[in-house]
Amino acid sequence: MLLNIPHNFPALELLAKEQFSISDLILTKKDAKPHLKVAVLNLMPLKIDTEADIMRIMSNSPLYIHLDFIYLESHTSKNTPFEHIKKYYKPFSAIKDDIYDGFIVTGAPVELLRFEDVGYWTELEGVFDWARQNVTSSLYICWGAQAALHHFYGIPKYELDNKLFGIYPHTVTDTSFPLFRGFDDVFHVPHSRHTTILKKDILKHPELTIYSETDDAGIYLLTDTSRNEFYITGHSEYSPMALHNEYMRDMKKGLTNVKLPYNYYPDNDSSKAPLVQWRSHSSLLFNNWLHYFCYCSLKE
């Protein structure tokens, strides 16, 4: 895959160690224009890890993608130097007049706050409204999905007694839906969250359709197909060690509402390497989204 990104993007170093074939070559020929233009609002605390997750999950796409990472000017990251953000990201104000084929909003470590108490909430609401006017298809992940659903539909989130944490099996309600083309009857998804949304609230909105859920993890994916918007409650983009790193971090903090990640370690032994069960379907999900909803819709 060719990505049009700033030269020497740090996440490329992480992916190179995994032997992923990704080039940051910027083509200059007049006929070598990107197939797609995609923006990512990265709200996760470990920016470079999330950058690598997004680029890794797109790595099997044959499309040439111009990828912009953007940041909110009302928020200062505590875990990533601003020099990195300033060098490799664009402020939302710099792209608000642009048109994108795809837009991704990641999760964020603010889920236990009321939406309106999040410091950058007002600016984020403006981004959500901008996306409906300037983006072909939007993909909202984890807290990003909860936040967008709350902004557009007033759907609440609910705090869980214990963190929903692990790898959960899911089924698809409509296998003909293009986003799930190539999927098996059962597929696995990483989840990592302290809050959830409820089906009863979704069903109040006929414009929303639930396409995947499970008893243990609840709703995984729902859409507003008329607006080409997708809401995902899990972290399909996660790398194999992401949950392990989160678990070690939570244990160091002494959190009592975090249990061993479900269905993650062989024999539930955290000293053993995690069993990866979600990578192929995650790749399919993102590439189906890019192809059928960001790219093909442009040709219709």
State how far the alpha carbon of 298 is from the alpha carbons of 129, 135, 290, in Å: 21, 11, 11
Beta bridge partners of 274: none
Q: Answer whether 171's CB lies under 8 Å from 219's CB.
A: no
User: What one-character DSSP code corresponds to residue 292?
Assistant: I
Return phi, psi of residue 117, to 5°.
-90, -5
Catalytic position from the list 66, 142, 191, 281: 142
Closest CA to 239 of 194, 288, 273: 273
> How many alpha carbons lie under 13 Å from residue 184 in its C-beta half-sphere?
12
Whole-number Å distance between alpha carbons of 157 and 35:
36
Is 84 one of the annotated active-site residues of the chain? no
Catalytic position from the list 51, 111, 213, 237: 237
Whole-number Å distance between alpha carbons of 53 and 21:
14
Is 235 one of the annotated active-site residues of the chain? yes
> How many alpha carbons lie under 13 Å from residue 190 in its C-beta half-sphere?
26
Is 237 one of the annotated active-site residues of the chain? yes
Catalytic position from the list 235, 246, 291, 294: 235
Whole-number Å distance between alpha carbons of 271 and 224:
42
Whole-number Å distance between alpha carbons of 237 and 51:
10
Return phi, psi of residue 186, to 5°.
-125, 135
Whole-number Å distance between alpha carbons of 190 and 264:
9
Residues labelled catalytic: 142, 235, 237
